[in-house]
């Protein structure tokens, strides 16, 4: 009898009790809007911003409606105009090129390496076309950030970091999202903190911060921000910047604050699970584990491996056989986008040239979510199932 996994790949942990209590307090108060504060009261949203800025070591933080909204706001705040080209990853999720499209920009895709990070040679070759790179740390894989920042600084390219998968991660001790001009995070259910929907935006640049605050829909109440720039930063900007509503509310902020306090502890738990799976997958013929650089502290909320050089039929056989045993794998090589899985040539509103080198990598990427509701035994079982099914198909091929 072969083992079957019975858990759910989409089941998150409950909201911590202190978050639930804080949320109930906000509901009892009736003051859910971030600027609706009683005399002397600091809003949950303003406190969240202050705490997150301190946590990552950024000067300014703005909480918004989603990660996608944070990215579009960042692009607007650094001056991207309709028709401008914006560099971004060929391997990322749909809201990333979507944020560029939202501001009328034109995505220019940069290739992916077999370490699943942005290809710096391709970035160097293409950097002359654009003033901005929307860099997606897709699935938590960090490129060599010193090399990337040096390259972009030399080319005069502003870096905006998409940290949807790296909230809580760091590169050589630097929290992800603080090396570029702006760091954008998602607080959506499937990321590292869960308020259903939500986003965070950090920067050290007072002008960019001021523009973002006004863009998010602050009306003229920006002085209620505890993690915003000084009032003088708004002097001109407040007249020139449109209000494109996308605020965070106090209910979500109340839920998020206790979760952010637990982020380091959650990282330990995520990485125990990640490395339990990784260990179990090692030495599987035909399967390549992605070696994580020593400079990277990861948030192991998902794991990827490569089936390099495999035929589509055989990859699909592995997925089907694993699914029969309860293990849900996603594949970035499929001809059609499925679920959350798509890639540069799925986004046909962009006129993107073919990327044969990236296609080879994408064709082998298999991806799996690792929710914290899995036990370490679950992780070992999942790895045994994948190993057995990959081996069976590999040997039969």
Ligand X SMILES: *Cc1c(COP(=O)(O)O)cnc(C)c1O
Residues that bind ligand X (CB under 6 A): 66-68, 92-93, 95-96, 136, 138, 162, 164-165, 186, 188, 199
Comparison of 102 and 174: residue with beta carbon closer to ligand X: 102
**Smallest distance, Å, CB 275 to ligand X?**
22
Quote the distance between the C-alpha of residue 131 and its chain's center.
22
Comparison of 137 and 292: residue with beta carbon closer to ligand X: 137
Residues 325, 327, 328, 331, CA torsion sign = negative
Residues 119, 124, 126, 129, CA torsion sign = positive
362: closest CA among 306, 279, 294?
Answer: 306
**Smallest distance, Å, CB 248 to ligand X?**
11
Comparison of 96 and 117: residue with beta carbon closer to ligand X: 96
Q: Where are the beta strands (DSSP E) in the chain?
A: 60-64, 85-89, 106-110, 132-136, 158-162, 170-171, 174-175, 182-186, 199-203, 288-289, 296-297, 302-306, 330-331, 365-369
Helices (H), 83-128: 95-102, 120-126
Q: Which two tokens stand for residue 103?
A: 């501001």
Comparison of 49 and 162: residue with beta carbon closer to ligand X: 162
With tokens 């679950």, the residue in question is 378
**Smallest distance, Å, CB 182 to ligand X?**
13
Comparison of 176 and 188: residue with beta carbon closer to ligand X: 188
Distance CA 100, CA 53 (A): 25
Cβ–Cβ under 8 Å, residues 187 and 199: yes
DSSP state of 247: B
Quote the distance between the C-alpha of residue 332 and its chain's center.
17
**Smallest distance, Å, CB 250 to ligand X?**
18
Comparison of 31 and 252: residue with beta carbon closer to ligand X: 252
**Smallest distance, Å, CB 377 to ligand X?**
28
- What's the CA angle centered on 10, arms 6 and 15, to 5 degrees? 115
**Smallest distance, Å, CB 4 to ligand X?**
29
**Smallest distance, Å, CB 397 to ligand X?**
32
**Smallest distance, Å, CB 166 to ligand X?**
9
State the CB neighbour count (10 A cutoff) for residue 53. Answer: 22
Position with the least CB separation from ligand X: 67
Cβ–Cβ under 8 Å, residues 87 and 127: yes
Comparison of 246 and 258: residue with beta carbon closer to ligand X: 246
Comparison of 233 and 255: residue with beta carbon closer to ligand X: 255
């Amino acid at each position: 009898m072969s083992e079957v996994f019975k858990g759910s790949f989409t089941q998150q942990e409950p909201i911590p009790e202190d978050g639930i209590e804080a949320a109930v307090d906000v509901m009892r108060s009736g003051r859910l809007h971030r600027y609706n504060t009683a005399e002397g009261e600091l809003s949950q949203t303003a406190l969240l911003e202050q705490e997150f800025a301190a946590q990552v070591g950024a000067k300014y933080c703005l909480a918004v409606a989603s990660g996608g909204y944070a990215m579009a706001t960042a692009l607007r705040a650094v001056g991207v105009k309709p028709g401008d080209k914006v560099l971004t990853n060929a391997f990322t999720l749909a809201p990333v090129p979507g944020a560029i499209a939202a501001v009328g920009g034109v995505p220019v895709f940069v290739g992916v390496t077999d370490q699943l990070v942005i290809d710096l040679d391709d970035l160097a070759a293409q950097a002359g076309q654009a003033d901005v790179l929307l860099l997606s740390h897709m699935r938590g894989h960090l490129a060599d950030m010193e090399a990337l920042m040096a390259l972009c600084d030399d080319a005069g390219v502003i870096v905006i970091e998409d940290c949807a998968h790296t909230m809580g991660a760091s590169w050589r001790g630097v929290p992800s999202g603080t090396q570029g001009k702006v760091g954008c995070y998602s607080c959506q259910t499937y990321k590292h903190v869960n308020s259903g929907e939500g986003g965070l935006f950090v920067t050290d640049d007072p002008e960019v911060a001021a523009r973002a605050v006004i863009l998010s829909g602050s009306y003229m109440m920006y002085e209620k921000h505890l993690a915003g720039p000084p009032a003088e930063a708004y002097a001109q900007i407040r007249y020139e910047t449109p209000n494109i509503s996308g605020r965070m509310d106090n209910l979500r902020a109340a839920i998020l604050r206790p979760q952010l306090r637990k982020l380091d502890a959650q990282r330990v738990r995520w990485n125990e699970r990640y490395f339990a799976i990784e260990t179990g997958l090692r030495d599987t013929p035909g399967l390549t584990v992605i070696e994580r650089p020593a400079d990277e502290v990861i948030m192991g909320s998902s794991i990827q491996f490569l089936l390099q050089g495999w035929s589509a039929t055989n990859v699909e056989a592995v997925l089907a056989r694993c699914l029969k045993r309860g293990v849900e794998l996603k594949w970035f090589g499929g001809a059609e986008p499925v679920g959350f899985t798509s890639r540069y040539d799925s986004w046909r509103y962009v006129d993107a040239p073919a990327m044969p080198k990236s296609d080879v990598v994408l064709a082998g990427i298999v991806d799996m979510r690792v929710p914290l509701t899995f036990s370490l035994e679950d992780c070992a079982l999942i790895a045994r199932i994948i190993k057995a099914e990959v081996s069976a198909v590999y040997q039969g091929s």
